[in-house]
Every structure is written in structure tokens, then in C-alpha cells.
């Protein structure tokens, strides 16, 4: 056990908390440039001796992503990963608010607290410059809504490890866990093309897009099989149709969120969309597919070494939610996620992080990062 590591985590936790508060105070909905620029400038100020670059974002119209790098004289290359955007619009943004052991605010758990921890880990690891060739911190501005291919995967191909700082968790018996397995994610959008008609005097002349989408929602959702071999889930999440209370809706769209350990399963979902329902044409498009992640075997030796440094077990865990870590895991086999603090309520007005978990989770992240850098 490295006693200095635990002491360091405890000593930096107050600064990390202050930086979380500063970041959460900035509203950064996906696609909004001004807030993203303010957040990037703030994060850059937290790494004053690092080389800061701005990389074109994967999503057109977004602020450029931030890359901070530090060169060393060793051989290891380590990527620390996070995102600055939230799903919360400016009008609904919740500023930071402390209440007992919780810090509330938009983006606290997903994932500005994780970003602050990543920056703290980066600063702490800078002292190991004789062991690393490069430390890199990548903060992107479009993780919550990206449908385009992720632009940065090839740039970091061949790095020794990728650490992502989405929210952390504990096991059923209270032991620290990190994420080594994630489901793949797909967004299926179904467009309905019907025919308008007066809903009072001539409803029989219309082709009701809303009814067709309702039929499709039930039929496609029936393909969900979370207990099956690929743990497929299919959830209708958004439906839009109709413009007036007295008109048969002529068009609309329906969105499904699909998750699976094998993205090939999404083909079954796509095939379940009927081509036509009662004269309404349905046109499906799978517009966003993120890969599944399974780095459990590759991460096992590193987690064992990090557990030794920490003096307590760090357990491999699985999570259904998507993450940019999944993209990097395709080219960086040693990818570990869930290194942020514990929290909850992501994407809701009651989003929070457990303040008491900060020092514990910083210690977990430091032990993993140090083990990754010192690994022969």
C-alpha cells in the first residue's frame, strides 16, 4: 500500500471540489459554443504548464475540443478522457448547490466532477515524467449528442492506456469499482409519412402517422430481450406527431434507444420496423451506433497492481450506459472507465455527486493512473 497516495488524494480533494463548483457554474449544453469555450478556458487554467491544443470537434458547429499534453522522458503514453457538455439546456441549468454530503448541479455526475478529478490526476502524475513519454488530457464538447464518427480515435491509437472519468460506483458490498464493460448503443429513428385530413368531417380520408408510430413502438419494443445472450434492450424514448387538434397527423417520428453487448443485435431491431401501417409509410434510420466495450481481461493485471497501491480491492464492473471510452477501447485495449466520483440523477434537475466520495475516488484514480504509468 502506498500511504503517500492516500494522503495526496485527501490533500487535493478540497481543490478538486472547488474546481467542480466552478465548472458546474458554467452552463454547457451540447452544441452551445460560448459555454463550452468558457469551460475549456477554465480547464486550461487548471493545467498551466501543459501544452493546450484545440482539435476540431466530431460534431459540426460545436466548439473545438481541448487537448492538453505533457512530455516526459519515459516510454508510457496515457490518455485521460472526459467531456464538458451536458444534456441540460441553458433555461434548465441548475447551478452548484451544496446540501449535506451532496453537491447538486447540472453536469455534476455526468461528468464535470469526473473532469475535475481527471485534471487533478494529470497534475499529480506529472511528477512521474521519467516514466511517461506523454500524458494527454482530452476533453470533448459533444459526447451527449454526437451522431457523427468520433474524430479522435486514430490519433491515440497505440497509447498504452485510456482512463475515462465518468461517474464511479461501488459493488453490492461497498467496494470501489471501475467500468471495464459497457453495452453498445444505437439510436433508431423512424419517420412516418401519412396523409392529412380533417379529423372531424373526414377522418377516413387521412393516413394517421401517430397511430402508425404507436403501432411501431409496440412492435419494435417487443424485440427487447435483456435476459438474452446479447442483453438487448429496446426502449421507445421520443415521439413527435401532429400539429393541430382537429387534423389527422400526416407525419411524425419515433426514436428508440437500443443497447446490447453485441451491436449486431441492432439489425434485429431495424428489421422489426414495419414498412407500412394502415397506409402510412415508415422509414427507419439507425443514425448513431457506439461500440460495446469489454476490457476486463486486459485490465485485470493493472487493477491488481492498482489495488496493491491502494491497499484495498478495485473491482471490475459493467454498465449499460454509453461512453467515449467505448470508442477508444477498439484501439487501446487497456481502457478503464468510471474513474469519477460517485453520484446520481444524471440528466435530471436533481443531479449530484457525493462529496464524501471525492477523496476515495481520487485515490482510486491515482492508483490506476500510477500503475498504468509505472507498468513495465
134 & 246 share domain = no
- In this prediction, residue 322 has a pLDDT band, given cuts at 50, 70 and 90, of confident
Report, as an integer, the average pLDDT of 83-87. Answer: 97
Distance, in Å, from the CA atom of 324 to the CA atom of 118, rounded to the nearest integer, reads: 15
124 & 209 share domain = no
118 & 220 share domain = no
Alpha carbon distances (Å) from 146 to 59, 154, 279, 334: 6, 17, 33, 24
User: Residue 113 phi/psi, 5° resolution?
Assistant: -65, -40
Distance, in Å, from the CA atom of 303 to the CA atom of 367, rounded to the nearest integer, reads: 9
Q: What is the pLDDT of residues 261-272, one digit of tens each?
A: 999 999 999 999
B/e letters for 83-107, b = 16+ CB within 10 Å, e = fewer, are bbbbbbeeeebbebeeeeebbbbbb
Compute CA 113 distance to the chain's CA centroid, rounded to the nearest angstrom: 13
Instruction: Give all strands (DSSP E) within 141-210, no chain letters.
Output: 161-164, 169-170, 176-182, 184-193, 197-198
CATH of the domain at 106: 3.40.630.10
DSSP states of 208-252 as a string? Answer: -HHHHHHHHHHHHHTT-BTTSTT-BEEEEEEEEE-SSTTEE--EE
CATH of the domain at 212: 3.30.70.360
Q: What is the pLDDT of residues 218-248, one digit of tens each?
A: 999 999 999 999 999 999 999 999 999 999 9
pLDDT at 375: 84
Number of domains in the chain: 2
Cell of 344: 446520481
Which domain does 136 fall in, by range? 3-183+292-374
301 & 193 share domain = no
Q: What is the pLDDT of residues 95-125, one digit of tens each?
A: 999 999 999 999 999 999 999 999 999 999 9
Residue at a domain's end among 255, 273, 289: 289
246 & 135 share domain = no
281 & 320 share domain = no
168 & 314 share domain = yes
Residue at a domain's end among 260, 289, 318: 289
Q: What is the pLDDT of residues 151-210, one digit of tens each?
A: 999 999 999 999 999 999 998 898 999 999 999 999 999 999 999 999 999 999 999 999
Q: In the β-sheet with 233-241, what is the strand arrangement from edge to edge?
A: 233-241, 251-260, 184-193, 280-290, 276-277
Query: What is the CA angle 42-17-344, rounded to 5?
Result: 105
173 & 226 share domain = no
Distance, in Å, from the CA atom of 374 to the CA atom of 230, rounded to the nearest integer, reads: 36
279 & 324 share domain = no
- In this prediction, residue 376 has a pLDDT band, given cuts at 50, 70 and 90, of confident
144 & 13 share domain = yes
What is the residue whose three cell numbers read 448547490? 97
145 & 274 share domain = no
110 & 55 share domain = yes
pLDDT at 2: 77
Cell of 28: 454547457
Which residues contact residue 49 at a Cβ distance below 8 angstroms, ignoring those fewer than 6 apart? 70, 126
Average pLDDT value for the chain: 96
User: In the predicted model, is pLDDT for residue 63 greater than 90?
Assistant: yes
Torsion of CA 151, 155, 157, 163, to 10 degrees: -80
Query: What is the CA angle 303-305-309, rounded to 5?
Result: 110
Q: What is the pLDDT of residues 17-46, one digit of tens each?
A: 999 999 999 999 999 999 999 999 999 999
What share of the chain has pLDDT > 70, as a percent?
100
pLDDT at 150: 95
Q: What is the pLDDT of residues 327-362, one digit of tens each?
A: 999 999 999 999 999 999 999 999 999 999 999 999
pLDDT at 1: 65
Residue at a domain's end among 236, 257, 289: 289
pLDDT at 213: 98
Amino acid at each position: 500500500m502506498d500511504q503517500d497516495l492516500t494522503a495526496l488524494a485527501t490533500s487535493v480533494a478540497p481543490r478538486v471540489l472547488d474546481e467542480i463548483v466552478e465548472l458546474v457554474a458554467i452552463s454547457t449544453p451540447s452544441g452551445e459554443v460560448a459555454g463550452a469555450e468558457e469551460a475549456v478556458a477554465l480547464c486550461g487554467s487548471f493545467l498551466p504548464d501543459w501544452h493546450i491544443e484545440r482539435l476540431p470537434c466530431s460534431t459540426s458547429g460545436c466548439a473545438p475540443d481541448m487537448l492538453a499534453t505533457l512530455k516526459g522522458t519515459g516510454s508510457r503514453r496515457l490518455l485521460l478522457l472526459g467531456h464538458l457538455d451536458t444534456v441540460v439546456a441553458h433555461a434548465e441549468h441548475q447551478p452548484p448547490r451544496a446540501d449535506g454530503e451532496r453537491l447538486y448541479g447540472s453536469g455534476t455526475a455526468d461528468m464535470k466532477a469526473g473532469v475535475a478529478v481527471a485534471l487533478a490526476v494529470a497534475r499529480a502524475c506529472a511528477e512521474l515524467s521519467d516514466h511517461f513519454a506523454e500524458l494527454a488530457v482530452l476533453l470533448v464538447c459533444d459526447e451527449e449528442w454526437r451522431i457523427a464518427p468520433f474524430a479522435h480515435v486514430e490519433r491515440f491509437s497505440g497509447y498504452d492506456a485510456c482512463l475515462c472519468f465518468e461517474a464511479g460506483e461501488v459493488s453490492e458490498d461497498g467496494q470501489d469499482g471501475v467500468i471495464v464493460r459497457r453495452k453498445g448503443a444505437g439510436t433508431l429513428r423512424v419517420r412516418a409519412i401519412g396523409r392529412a385530413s380533417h379529423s372531424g368531417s373526414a377522418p377516413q380520408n387521412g393516413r394517421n402517422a401517430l397511430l402508425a408510430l404507436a403501432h411501431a413502438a409496440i412492435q419494435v419494443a417487443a424485440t427487447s430481450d435483456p435476459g438474452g445472450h446479447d442483453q438487448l434492450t429496446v426502449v421507445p424514448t421520443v415521439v413527435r406527431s401532429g400539429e393541430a387538434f382537429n387534423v389527422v397527423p400526416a407525419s411524425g417520428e419515433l426514436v428508440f434507444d437500443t443497447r446490447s453487448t453485441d451491436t449486431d443485435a441492432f439489425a434485429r431491431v431495424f428489421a422489426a420496423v414495419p414498412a407500412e401501417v394502415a397506409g402510412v409509410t415508415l422509414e427507419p434510420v439507425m443514425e448513431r451506433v457506439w461500440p460495446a466495450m469489454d476490457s476486463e481481461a486486459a485490465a485485470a493485471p493493472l487493477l491488481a497492481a492498482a489495488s496493491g497501491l491502494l491497499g484495498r480491492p478495485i473491482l471490475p464492473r459493467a454498465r449499460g450506459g454509453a461512453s467515449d471510452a467505448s470508442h477508444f477501447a477498439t484501439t487501446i485495449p487497456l481502457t478503464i472507465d468510471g474513474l469519477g466520483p460517485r453520484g446520481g440523477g444524471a440528466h435530471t434537475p436533481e443531479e449530484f455527486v457525493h462529496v464524501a466520495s471525492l477523496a476515495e475516488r481520487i485515490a482510486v484514480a491515482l492508483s490506476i493512473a500510477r500503475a498504468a504509468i509505472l507498468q513495465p
